[in-house]
Amino acid sequence: MDLNKLADALIPDEDLEPIEAYEEKYPARDLPKGAEVTRLAPSPTGFMHLGNLYVALANERIAHGSGGVLFLRIEDTDSKRKVEGAVDVIRSSLRYFGVQFDEGADIGGAYGPYYQQQRAKIYRAYAKELIRRGRAYPCFCTEEELAAVREKQTENKLLPGYYGEFAKCRNLTEEEIYCNLAAGKPYVIRFRSEGDVNQKSVFHDAIKGEITVTENNQDVVILKSDGIPTYHFAHVVDDHLMRTTLVIRGEEWLASLPIHIELFGALGFRLPRYGHNCSIQKIDEAEGGRRKLSKRKDPEASLVFYREEGYHPLAVRTYLMTLLNSNFEEWRMKYPDKPLEEFKFSIGKMGKSGALFDLDKLNDISKEILSSLSAEEMYDFLCEWARGYAPEELRTCLADRAYLLRVLTLCMGIGSKKRRKDFITARQAAETIAYFFRAPQNLSFRADGETVKEVLGRFMASYDPTDDNAAWFDKMKKTADALGFASDMKAYKAAPDAYRGNVSDVAEIVRVALTGQANTPDLCTIMSVLGEEECRRRAAAAVASL
């Protein structure tokens, strides 16, 4: 059969460049020895999973830790899954979490275009080359024919797929092919596999270690009937021409690895290294243990969740690093102030089986990170979050910068011996300090109404905003003594039944009345931030509400 003629008949495009031109246009990268070229290749579905960030961070650390390159390729060949604005979602969420690409979609670079839709000609040129080499052929099978083959295979418990005797179009004669073409039958282009499933070999996966791979024998589709490549083919062509050295991708692709190995070989390309990454899991008692973090069931599976809640990007990054590399935590404990970039990330230390996601642990890290910010940094962080995600009334609260800085200084314990760790996220922080902006509602006192009235009446009568901390506390103690509470803790502990309670119970009543919360930073300072007038108004409102 004249394969050149066949290639022209199947892929008649006149504007295709010879593949040598592409090899020249995208030459080997000039990088130092050991530099890795990694990539993120998401499909623009509009949904960014925590797992996407997890892989992105690994890729980023590996590329930049080795003096290499990280690029972003948008895998938009499946128009059914494509969502308007999805690329913005990908780029903005990764940028927010600190993943910097060196080249890629919307950034540009010498190895683009980085949208697969814009690379159609390139795939067609390489598919044509495979036809010329006798390693690809047209397949005219209809959906019904393929379904019948599948059914037969299932019935006989045979390996499913298009291979060997089931690959009907593999051995079509020249006449049959041209006859089908003349009849206008739609066709796909399939790869002609030369593999044998009885051949197995050991493969080194950069994450999973030594694994056994079975040779591919499937004549997979490389170009669909609309001329658009399948993932298999686009992956091989792109990662070759973009000179990727390490492909990190989800372990769901492990089953297709034999196809990719054979395709790389058939095209004469050098195989990149692969690392198949495990999924992020969570404990679900109701479902009896570990399961995959699910887009459908778990709000925390989506990156949007972390932005809406206002998790600090560094907290999420730090937490993911603890999941990514088992020795990261130890390093961080040793060097709490060093930037994450100084940690020596190792792909070999990534988990071989599922990484377990734990929101409590993320929250602990978040508390630590937020407590290390200055009041100004916390203010900026709150404002940035509020611009995108806070309800209107919270946003207006943030307008008075000077006032908010006083509030934050107090609530974060800045300047005191020990920093407070009350804040977890921007949303929770804004809600925690909301009492500085509006009087608390629905007060809930542990004491009875009469006691509340007595305490507020007496304490507020003695309250003087010019008092210092010691004088303020002295008045609190005097209120306690006057009303039968113990002002002295020792005395109280010796005979608790002799008192109505102690001075902290008295302070709690004032605290709840003024802030709505039973636990707050130093109440005396809170009162001075709120101002005398506001304190008296709130105390009166609390009494009136009883």
Q: Catalytic amino acids? A: 295
Strand, coil or helix: 292: strand
Reading the block at residue 516, the tokens are 């709505």
Which residues lie near ligand GLU (CB under 6 A)?
Answer: 41-43, 75, 235, 247, 249-250, 253
Supply the minimum distance, in Å, between the C-beta of residue 237 and ligand GLU: 12
Listed residue (122, 409, 379) closest to 241, CA to CA: 122
| CB burial string 133-158: b at 16+ within 10 A, e below | eebbbbbbbeeeeeeebeeeeeeeee
Nearest residue (CB) to ligand GLU, 354 versus 440: 354
Would you say 87 and 106 are in contact if contact means Cβ atoms under 8 Å apart?
yes
Supply the minimum distance, in Å, between the C-beta of residue 368 and ligand GLU: 32
Reading the block at residue 22, the tokens are 């592409």
Supply the minimum distance, in Å, between the C-beta of residue 58 and ligand GLU: 12
Listed residue (462, 414, 443) closest to 509, CA to CA: 443
Strand, coil or helix: 215: coil
**Per the omega criterion (within 30 degrees of 0), is the bond before 113 cis?**
yes
Mode of pairing for the β-strands spanning 200-205 and 209-214 = antiparallel
Counting Cβ atoms within 10 Å, is residue 352 exposed (0-12), middle (13-18) or buried (19+)?
A: middle
Supply the minimum distance, in Å, between the C-beta of residue 146 and ligand GLU: 24
Nearest residue (CB) to ligand GLU, 42 versus 138: 42
DSSP letters spanning 454-494: HHHHHHHHH--TT--HHHHHHHHHHHHHHTT-BSSHHHHHH
Supply the minimum distance, in Å, between the C-beta of residue 250 and ligand GLU: 6
Shortest Cβ contact with ligand GLU: which residue? 249
Residue type, 495: A
Nearest residue (CB) to ligand GLU, 42 versus 310: 42
Backbone Cα Rg of the chain: 33
What's the CA gap between 398 and 382, in Å, rounded? 8
Residues 6+ apart with CB under 8 A from 69: 29, 31, 35, 37, 38, 63, 102, 103
Supply the minimum distance, in Å, between the C-beta of residue 40 and ligand GLU: 7
Nearest residue (CB) to ligand GLU, 40 versus 535: 40
What's the CA gap between 346 and 4, in Å, rounded? 47
Supply the minimum distance, in Å, between the C-beta of residue 168 and ligand GLU: 30
Q: Nearest 5°: CA angle at 93, between 91 and 98?
A: 90
Nearest residue (CB) to ligand GLU, 42 versus 501: 42
Nearest residue (CB) to ligand GLU, 40 versus 397: 40
Nearest residue (CB) to ligand GLU, 43 versus 245: 43
